Amino acid sequence: MNDILNTDTIAAISTGYSSGGIAVIRISGKDAFSSADRIFRGMDSPLSSCASHTVHYGHIVDPSLELIVDEVLVSIFRAPRTYTREDVVEISCHGGMFVARKILSLLFEYVRPAEPGEFTKRAFLNGRIDLSEANAVADIISSDNDRYLLNAERQLSGVLAKKVEDFRSKIVHEAAFIESAVDDPENYSLDGYGDVLSEKVDELIKGLSDLSETFSEGRIMKEGVETLIIGKPNVGKSSILNCLSRNESAIVTDIPGTTRDLISEKIRLSGITLNLIDSAGVHEADDRVEAIGVERTLSKIDEAKLIIFAVDSSEELDENDYHIFEKIRGKNVIVLLNKSDKPQALSEGSLEKLADLSKYVLQFSAKNGDGIEKLGSAISDIIFSGKGSEGRDIIITDERQKAECDNAVRSLLLVKRSIEDGLSEDFFTQDLMDAYDALGRIIGKGVSEDLIEEIFSKFCMGK
């Protein structure tokens, strides 16, 4: 893999591209120390002579004019005990973007700009992390809920890589045994081996299928759940949105039909990201604009993975409520009996009908927030089928990882078919090794240069 590693020294701002307390500029490569020495003043000896993992106070200067640009701290990290396994210098300067970019422009006289994700790509190419751990770095950066972050941290610690290597070890053991038996039948017997291998392949298929199935959960953690708040006019849908988002995203009045278009808000509840959509009240609308809003609401029902059906519990159900019933029946529905802070007016018959629609019929008050905790539990129960993700050691969040798991399963199923068809054992080896190679690509073994470039180009600049 080192043959595709660009050994130029690179630099980039590694903190966010916005003003803050500090900004960090990272330099990596064989000329990291010498390039930093050209613009750093503050020591009698050069940075290149300093011990690794030390911090030094001084100033960045424009060497052409010897004018001070900023007061900084410079951290020294010597290869191989660095993020990239190359020499690394990190300059911590004041966090104004003009200052950070000025320092970076001075460095570009001696080094080149880093490409998106190039520091992490070098960490991978230099063998510090595998590809699953590199994916975890991207997940940590983009995480916006506790579940997603925890899973990314597990993956970065090598849990997925260890699981994949365990599968690969079992597969290659069987392939090696077959090869040995074919080459040396006097010392290795294949009598009854097909039955033995079939059981082992079944276990591998089960384990890989279970891992692949976690992707649906991983996608939810990564992208969030498309959630539609639906109900007739004036049941408090916009108030529910504002209550959950803790933000006045939607206009709330006592006038029915205030919300005429879809309003979106991303929130986190019980560790799950919800892409909430507040919608126009569903009813027979005479106003053309309102009618368009209702049409848009109904069109979102099929797209939503979760539907929050808001009901005004201070009034009896009417034909508009029942119309919505029929539109959302069979979906993942949570019924919120909103306005629980008022006297309740729903009959037993109405409550029974709501219970028939969904097993999650919850008292809720958008006015004072009562019921949020129960709503979060219900959402977790629906999305994670009551299992939750806490008990899993790892969940895959990347489509490529899932695809390679599925490729490995397909190859192992071909091994099963060869066994069932009574083919000789040497037919098994190719499909076993195809499964072995597919799993290797999850952790970066045997991947093409083009794929590497594609993966790391999606990383943020400076990482």
Digit-coded pLDDT (tens) for 312-362: 999 999 888 888 888 888 889 999 999 998 999 899 999 999 999 999 999
Digit-coded pLDDT (tens) for 246-303: 765 433 434 444 444 457 788 888 878 888 887 665 645 445 445 555 566 666 778 8
Q: How far is CA 32 from CA 24, 38, 77, 86, 87, in A?
A: 15, 10, 10, 9, 6
- How many beta carbons lie within 10 A of that of residue 17, not counting itself? 12
**23 - beta bridge partners?**
93
Q: Which amino acid is at 239?
A: S
C-alpha closest to that of 298 among 389, 363, 243, 228: 228
As a whole number, the mean pLDDT across the chain is 86
CB 158 within 8 A of CB 126: no
Q: What domains appear along the chain, each with residue ranges and CATH number?
A: 2-129 (3.30.1360.120), 146-220+398-443 (1.20.120.430), 224-383 (3.40.50.300)
pTM reported for the whole predicted model: 0.78
Please tell me the distance from the alpha carbon of residue 294 to that of residue 131, in angstroms, as a whole number: 46
Token look-up 């201070």 returns: 314
Digit-coded pLDDT (tens) for 208-262: 999 999 998 888 888 888 888 888 888 888 888 888 887 654 334 344 444 444 5
What is the longest distance spanned by two Cα atoms in the chain?
89
C-alpha closest to that of 426 among 175, 186, 200: 175
Please tell me the distance from the alpha carbon of residue 233 to that of residue 259, in angstroms, as a whole number: 8
C-alpha closest to that of 244 among 216, 289, 276, 291: 276
CB 134 within 8 A of CB 123: yes
C-alpha closest to that of 321 among 288, 296, 347, 286: 347
Digit-coded pLDDT (tens) for 134-159: 999 988 988 878 888 889 999 999 99
What is the rounded end-to-end Cα distance, in angstroms, of the chain? 20
CB 432 within 8 A of CB 89: no
Q: How far is CA 318 from CA 35, 283, 323, 392, in A?
A: 74, 10, 9, 44
> At residue 452, what are phi and psi to the nearest 5 degrees?
-60, -45
C-alpha closest to that of 461 among 13, 126, 8, 131: 13
